[in-house]
């Protein structure tokens, strides 16, 4: 048993729910970004459970009260590593801080990348530029249907994305094309990810499906996941966790079709797993709303999560530790559709957690990984400072 009051930890990452610009945001083109704060200014949010836990003690939220006595310990965390992508953020949450960013291709991929890729898949490609995924599908979808050529694009992240209609290039074939791209840009150039972006529908009504798959570079060193697994404890990855860690350190992977499905899987994992780590990513905040600058949809998803959170909290066992955080920002109120360089929220609760503890501004996401290493007795990690002592009753 871990030498703490906790036998099980649940970490829920609200993908892209940032809480204000980092000091170096301007270097990333993100001056003024504040994902949660700006949404609250635009929409009359109803998130009573998050308010009760202490989210409005982390940052002021327009029209929302501030809990006098928050039920959770609260704070915010800065990203120490350069970059603002999901891989870098999730790795840092689990104690691995990168010292250099993954390579970016804002002007599209050079011929020395595209020629071997097209030769391997046996056809030409469309696009090859930085773009919003939904916008480029609408723009090039008709030509894709006519030619059968996949749509290749990138973004402000280190990603090689391939979009294809499922009736033209079935998901299994698209995954094989992604594996070919992976060998070229991830193994060859050190990029962060290749992402399969299947879609369906007709011109003017194309819709991306839940058959997305991420092919990420493996972590260069052990993360908390590896250490917990080595201690013979379960590590349940829900959503795209398995993909972001290239399968490393995960004892059971559960892929999801939506954030509601993700919360269903979290509840099921709580019933089936009595110890260890449950690590969930809720990607719709980012993929469905942040990248599409859909402020109303983002707000509605926050309210749906808040309702699910109120159902989840009574299911926690006395020795559970629940952490709610994020991996970066994606402010839907700005012209950009890319991730934003922001602080992320830190809410920590459980029966054995001292509510109302102000954890302040943590200098790295890795403080969470170090804390969880202390929880499970598998530390120390190479990065971060544990806040376990501050939150224990």
Same domain for 290 and 239: yes
Identify which of 123, 139, 118 has the alpha carbon closest to the alpha carbon of residue 181: 118
Distance CA 10, CA 3 (A): 18
Choosing from 192, 216, 240, the residue where a domain stops is: 216
Beta bridge partners of 42: none
Which of 103, 100, 101, 152 has the alpha carbon at shortest distance from 123?
152
pLDDT of residue 235: 98
Residue 245 to residues 87, 171, 249, Cα–Cα distance (Å): 8, 21, 8
Please report whether residue 202 resides in a domain: yes
Helix, coil or strand: residue 132 = coil
**Do residues 206 and 259 both lie within one domain?**
no
Cβ distance 97 to 383 under 8 Å? yes
Cβ neighbours around 207 below 10 Å, total: 10
Report how far residue 208's alpha carbon sits from residue 94's, in angstroms, rounded to the nearest whole number.
29
Is there a single domain that holds both residue 132 and residue 32?
no
Q: Determine the pLDDT at residue 1.
A: 37
pLDDT of 3 reads 66
349, 339: one domain: yes
**Quick check: is 46 in a domain?**
yes
1 within a domain of the structure (yes/no) = no
Of 181, 216, 251, the one marking the end of a domain is 216
> In the predicted model, what is the mean pLDDT of residues 203-215?
94
**For residue 319, how many other CB atoms are within 10 A of its CB?**
18
CB neighbour class for 112 (10 Å; exposed up to 12, middle 13-18, buried from 19)? exposed
Give the confidence band of 238 by pLDDT, cuts at 50, 70, 90. Answer: very high
Domain closes at, from 195, 216, 237? 216
SS3 for 161? strand
The label of the residue with tokens 């954030």 reads 259
Together in a domain, 257 and 290: yes
Question: Do residues 54 and 69 lie in contact, with contact meaning Cβ atoms separated by under 8 Å?
Answer: no
pLDDT greater than 50 at residue 97? yes
105 found inside a domain: no
Taken in order 283, 131, 27, 381, the sign of the CA dihedral is positive
What single-letter DSSP state applies at residue 25? G
pLDDT of 379: 85
What CATH number did the domain enclosing 233 receive? 3.40.720.10
On whether the CB atoms of residues 44 and 101 are closer than 8 A, the answer is: no
Whether residues 287 and 304 fall in one domain: yes
Domain of 172, in residue numbers? 111-216
Q: Are residues 21 and 152 in the same domain?
A: no
What is the per-residue DSSP string for 267-330? HHHHHH--SEEEEEEE-HIIIIIITTT-HHHHHHHHHHHHHHHHHHGGG--TTEEEEEE-SSB-
Q: Is 254 helix (H, G, I), strand (E, B) or coil?
A: strand
Burial pattern 221-248, b for ≥16 Cβ within 10 A else e, equals ebbbbbbbbeeebbbbbbbbbbbbbbeb
- Model confidence pLDDT, tens digit, residues 21-80: 999 999 999 999 999 999 999 999 999 999 999 999 999 999 999 998 999 999 999 999
258 lies in a domain? yes
Q: Which pLDDT score, from 0 to 100, does residue 308 have?
A: 98
On whether both 212 and 222 belong to a single domain, the answer is: no
Q: Are 235 and 332 found together in one domain?
A: yes
Question: For the residues 351-362, what does the mean pLDDT come to?
Answer: 98
Between 3 and 292, the higher pLDDT residue: 292
Task: Compute the mean pLDDT over every residue in the chain, rounded to the nearest whole number.
Answer: 96
**What pLDDT digit, counting tens, does each position of 116-174 carry?**
999 999 999 999 999 989 999 999 999 999 999 999 999 988 999 999 999 999 999 99
- Which residue is it, tokens 């590593």? 81
CA atoms within 13 A on the CB side of 198: 20
What secondary structure does DSSP assign to 185-243, as a single string? IITTT--SEEEEEEEES-TT--EE-TT-EEEEPPPSS--HHHHHHHTT--EEEESSHHH
Domain-located, residue 327:
yes
- R_g over Cα of the chain: 20
The verdict on 318 and 195 lying in the same domain is: no
Backbone phi, psi, residue 292, to 5°:
-105, 5
Co-location of 124 and 208 in the same domain = yes
Number of domains within the chain: 2
Whole-structure pTM value = 0.93
**Cis peptide preceding 122, ω within 30 of 0:** no
CATH number at residue 144: 3.30.70.1250
Give yes or no: residues 203 and 256 share one domain. no
Could you tell me if 16 and 330 are in contact, meaning their C-beta atoms sit under 8 angstroms apart?
A: yes
| In a domain? residue 3 | no
73 in a structural domain: yes
């Amino acid at each position: 048993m871990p030498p703490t009051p906790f036998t099980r930890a649940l970490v829920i990452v609200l993908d892209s729910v940032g809480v204000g610009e980092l000091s170096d945001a301007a270097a990333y083109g993100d001056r003024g970004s504040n994902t949660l704060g700006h949404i609250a200014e635009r929409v009359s949010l109803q998130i009573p459970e998050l308010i009760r836990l202490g989210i409005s003690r982390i940052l002021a939220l327009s029209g929302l009260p501030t809990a006098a006595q928050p039920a959770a310990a609260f704070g915010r965390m800065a990203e120490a590593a350069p970059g603002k992508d999901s891989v870098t953020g999730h790795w840092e949450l689990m104690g691995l801080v990168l010292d250099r960013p993954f390579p970016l291709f804002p002007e599209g991929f050079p011929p020395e990348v595209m020629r071997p890729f097209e030769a391997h898949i046996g056809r030409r490609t469309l696009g090859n530029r930085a773009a919003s995924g939904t916008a480029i599908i609408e723009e090039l979808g008709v030509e894709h249907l006519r030619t059968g050529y996949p749509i290749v694009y990138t973004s402000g992240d280190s990603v090689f994305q391939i979009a294809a209609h499922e009736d033209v290039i079935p998901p299994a074939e698209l995954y094989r094309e992604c594996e070919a791209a992976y060998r070229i840009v991830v193994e060859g150039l050190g990029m962060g990810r290749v992402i399969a972006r299947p879609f369906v529908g007709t011109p003017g009504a194309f819709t991306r499906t839940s058959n997305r798959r991420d092919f990420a570079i493996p972590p260069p060193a052990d993360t908390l996941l590896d250490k917990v697994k080595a201690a013979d404890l379960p590590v349940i990855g829900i959503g795209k966790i398995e993909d972001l860690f290239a399968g490393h350190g995960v004892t059971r992977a559960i892929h999801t079709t939506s954030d509601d499905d993700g919360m269903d899987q979290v509840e099921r994992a709580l019933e089936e797993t009595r110890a260890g780590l449950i690590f969930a990513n809720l990607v719709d905040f980012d993929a469905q709303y942040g990248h599409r600058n859909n402020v109303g949809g983002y707000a509605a998803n926050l309210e749906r999560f808040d309702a699910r959170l109120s159902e989840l909290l009574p299911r926690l066992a006395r020795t559970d530790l629940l952490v709610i955080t994020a991996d970066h920002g994606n402010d839907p109120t700005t012209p950009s559709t890319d991730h934003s360089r922001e602080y992320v929220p830190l809410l920590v609760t459980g029966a054995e957690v001292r509510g109302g503890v102000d954890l302040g501004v943590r200098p790295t996401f890795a403080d969470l990984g170090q804390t969880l290493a202390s929880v499970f007795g598998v530390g120390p990690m190479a990065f971060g400072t544990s806040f376990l002592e501050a939150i224990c009753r």
